[in-house]
Structure 1
Amino acid sequence: MATSALRTAAPASPWEPASTRAQQREVKRNAVLQTAAQLFNERGFHATSLDDIAERLNVSKPTLYYYVESKDQILLECVRTALDLMHDGIEAVRAAGGSAIEQLKACMRIYTGVVTQDFGMCVIRIGEDPLPEPLKTELRRLKAGIDLQFRRLIADGVAEGSLAPCDPKMAAFMLAGALSWVGRWYRSDGHLSPEEIADQGIDLLLNGVLQRPVATRRKKAASAKVTKAPRKKGKA
């Protein structure tokens, strides 16, 4: 009997390919972070344990250590994820170009959208205080980068005439502070969507709440319409 006839097909491996296992691990790791962020926002950082996170995920506590090292690292990753979303969104807006005021409005919408998500709310409600050094310093560096982008946009807006003269540093602090507070009071079951909150918030922050006299409003509206005087016809 030929040797080849004695050979049988190799059994299929019960393990997924390495690339698939890596993807599954990333999905599960993201689930750990998302669940942790939700619990931190609901109960607070110190009142949430790894056991709580594991229970909500229906896994054992030792299983979590396959994806994260500690609760401190979980908070760091949650906050870093939110700040990365803000940074990437702002960078995309800047790269797309346009007037400074339109870029500023777009960045304010991105900022509002992030702080109404689990990771963004974690930045606002929990922050960096529970973290030890040097993790706290790293997060401050990421925040400083976002603040600098807002300052530049405001300075550009003043330069182009779309914003009133102001201190860009103070203005950036005030705008970001107001938008950040949305993460404190926002509720997903509220009557306003994140988009509606962003639209109303931007209008209030940039246009104010004071009622302007009718004459002043008409004057500003007229000055906004730049028209060219008709050219007089010369003699032939």
Structure 2
Amino acid sequence: MARKRWNGEFETSEEQQAIKRRLLLREAGAAFTERGFHNVSLDELAARLGISKTVFYYYFRDKNHLLQNCVEIGFELAETALDRAEALDACGLEKAACFMHAYVTGITSEMGACAVLTELNSLNADDLAAVRKRQRAFGRRLVKLIEEGCKDGSIQTDNARVAASWILSPPLGIPRLSQLWQVQDGKGLADRYADLVRRSLRPL
């Protein structure tokens, strides 16, 4: 049986590359969220990480490709949270609260700053069209979850689409609200946002 190099004390080359790529995305996502895609240069990002700009081109074709990957992380966070909610054996209201809790937990994670969905219009036309299609598919799933809650009586709303839009909107502002981190950790925020969903959607 082959032995690990250095008895496994050091990461493999592939693991090292993955870590470096994650650091680049984390820094880029945070900068795009703070200042906007067009106001951040690769030179600035490189300086913040203490590397040369050419390092970025080893991992990403260009700045648009970097944004694509940040948007992908945002989708993964949202879709993973919805997968968890849909699989929950509970009423529609608790599924909606579960989604919010998992989504906020993701946004407040190490890579959560990459959920820069407010920067979608900075993508090129073809990439934006693909992202919009994916958004619509995700939206239909969330609307269906809310409609299930209306049918089982756990959710009261006049418009499931409006309710879905409301659920998605508040968490996107979390990365910009740095003051929240001074008084509340990620789990505490997730608990509060999930409770907000319960209080807002439950029947009067």
Q: TM-score, normalised by structure 2?
A: 0.80
Q: Does residue 190 in structure 1 map to residue 182 in structure 2?
A: yes
Task: Verify the 8 A CA contact 2:92 2:145 in the aligned structure 1.
Answer: yes
Letter in 2 for 1:144: R
Q: State how far apart, in whole Å, the 2-side matches of 1:100 and 1:69 are.
A: 42
Structure-2 change in CA distance of 1:168 and 1:156 (3 Å): same
Structure-2 change in CA distance of 1:186 and 1:206 (3 Å): farther
1:38 aligns with one of 24, 30, 37: 30
Q: Secondary structure at the match of 1:59?
A: coil
The unaligned stretches of length 5 or more in structure 2 are 1-10
Residue in 1 that maps onto 2:164:
172
Higher relative contact order (CA 8 A, sep 6+): 2
- When the two chains are superposed, the root-mean-square deviation of aligned CA atoms in Å is 2.6
The offset of 1:148, in angstroms, is 1.9
The offset of 1:185, in angstroms, is 2.6
The offset of 1:162, in angstroms, is 0.8
Q: State how far apart, in whole Å, the 2-side matches of 1:130 and 1:177 are.
A: 19
Task: Verify the 8 A CA contact 1:54 1:60 in the aligned structure 2.
Answer: yes
1:114 aligns with one of 106, 116, 121: 106
Task: Verify the 8 A CA contact 1:93 1:103 in the aligned structure 2.
Answer: yes
Task: Verify the 8 A CA contact 2:25 2:69 in the aligned structure 1.
Answer: yes
The offset of 1:187, in angstroms, is 4.0
The offset of 1:55, in angstroms, is 1.5
Q: State how far apart, in whole Å, the 1-side matches of 2:178 and 2:107 are.
A: 9
1:149 aligns with one of 141, 162, 171: 141
The offset of 1:80, in angstroms, is 0.9
Q: Does residue 135 in structure 1 map to residue 127 in structure 2?
A: yes
Residue in 2 that maps onto 1:212:
none
Instruction: Flag the structure with larger Rg.
Output: 1
1:22 aligns with one of 14, 19, 26: 14
Q: Secondary structure at the match of 2:181?
A: coil
Q: State how far apart, in whole Å, the 2-side matches of 1:128 and 1:183 are.
A: 16
Letter in 1 for 2:13: R
Q: TM-score, normalised by structure 1?
A: 0.71
The unaligned stretches of length 5 or more in structure 1 are 1-18, 209-219, 221-236
Structure-2 change in CA distance of 1:48 and 1:196 (3 Å): same
Structure-2 change in CA distance of 1:142 and 1:179 (3 Å): same
Letter in 1 for 2:161: K
**Deviating more after overlay: 106-115 vs 175-184:** 175-184
Task: Verify the 8 A CA contact 1:79 1:120 in the aligned structure 2.
Answer: no
Structure-2 change in CA distance of 1:201 and 1:142 (3 Å): same
Q: State how far apart, in whole Å, the 2-side matches of 1:28 and 1:193 are.
A: 26
Q: State how far apart, in whole Å, the 1-side matches of 2:146 and 2:161 are.
A: 9
The offset of 1:103, in angstroms, is 1.4
Choose between structure 1 and 2: higher helix proportion.
Answer: 2
2:90 aligns with one of 74, 88, 98: 98
Q: Percent identity?
A: 26
The offset of 1:101, in angstroms, is 1.9
